[in-house]
Amino acid sequence: MGKTSQKKTRVVVVILASLVLALTSFCTYLLISRADPSSDTKPLRKAGDGLFSWHDEVFEKEEREILFALMKEQGLTELYQDFPFNMPAGEIREFVNECERNGINLYLLIGEPEWALDSGAVELRAQIQRAALMGLSGVMVDVEPGSTDEWKDDRRPVMETMTEMLLRGKTAAEENGLSMIVCLSYYYDDYGFEEKLDVIAEKACDALAIMNYDQKDETGQIETEASLCRKYGKRLINIYELQEVGKYGLEESHTYREEGLPALKKSAKEVAAYYSGQTITTALHDYRALKAMSGR
């Protein structure tokens, strides 16, 4: 099979898999909506600093108490949480209600590299509907296409389809009364994608969350994104990495694991001061790393 045919086959497989997941998601979370009328989307509280959480241990009672205590201790009021597909509806409702009682805006954390290849946004739209049926505040969309063969071959068409995917996602979020945050790396403008960033900032998100993972120039390297957020009146979320050096190829300059939380907070204040006059908040990546750094 030729290289072009292989690419087409991969795209078809991605779309078919997305359709199956979309149907599963819709059926499962219809049960949540029918079982609990209170699952209507919650009104969004004032934006605040946030925390990423990819793992399901936080749904256990003891771990959940640690999570909420840590968030309160660090002044975090937004949680970007991944939910497994097979999680019972009752457990989902319990967790959502506890976040509500603790004053936390809860977002569904979603995204796979292959989503960038689907301009129709099949899976993204299904996940947005899922978040609405769960009664969440919104979605945090983290799609990083850098690991795909298509991106490695030619970034430009992938950036085109990813932008289309995000635009369709934003329409779906609006239809479902949800906030949509788009998470991006800080270096897309280095690839010459300023125009696409402009479109995403204006039309495809309510806020931009930038993985600002390099201490060498924490203010300068997000200048393009900050400028676009200021231009369109959108919030900029400045994300800091906390995971250990060596994990996923992280170098010392990429994470605050060694420097600690005081150094991170100092940096966050400096970045916020540099971009004063616009809405900028901080997010930490991720819960497990924050827990370890806090000695729990």
Per-residue pLDDT tens, the chain, 296 aa: give them: 554 555 555 555 455 555 545 554 555 445 454 445 444 555 567 889 999 999 999 999 999 999 999 999 999 999 999 999 999 999 999 999 999 999 999 999 999 999 999 999 999 999 999 999 999 999 999 999 999 999 999 999 999 999 999 999 999 999 999 999 999 999 999 999 999 999 999 999 999 999 999 999 999 999 999 999 999 999 999 999 999 999 999 999 999 999 999 999 999 999 999 999 999 999 999 999 999 999 98
Please give the DSSP secondary-structure letter assigned to residue 227: H
Cα distance between residue 286 and residue 113, in whole Å = 19
The secondary structure element, H or E, covering residue 183 is strand 179-185
Closest CA to 118 of 201, 15, 23: 15
Distance of alpha carbon 255 from alpha carbon 212, whole angstroms: 10
CATH of the domain at 152: 3.20.20.80
User: Could you give the 3-state DSSP secondary structure of residue 104?
Assistant: coil
| 8 contact partners, CB below 8 Å, separation of at least 6 | none
CA distance 232 to 199: 10
**Residue 236: what pLDDT?**
98
Half-sphere exposure of 39 (CA within 13 A, CB side): 22
Segments forming the whole domain that contains residue 121: 3-293
Q: Per residue in 133-170, is it b (16+ CB within 10 Å) or e — as a string? A: bbbbbbbbbbbbbeebebbeeebeebbebbbbbbbbbb
Residue 32: the pLDDT is: 55
Q: Are 207 and 236 in contact (CB under 8 A)?
A: yes
Is the separation of the CB atoms in 96 and 106 below 8 Å? yes
Contact, 113 vs 143, CB < 8 A? yes
Number of domains making up the chain: 1
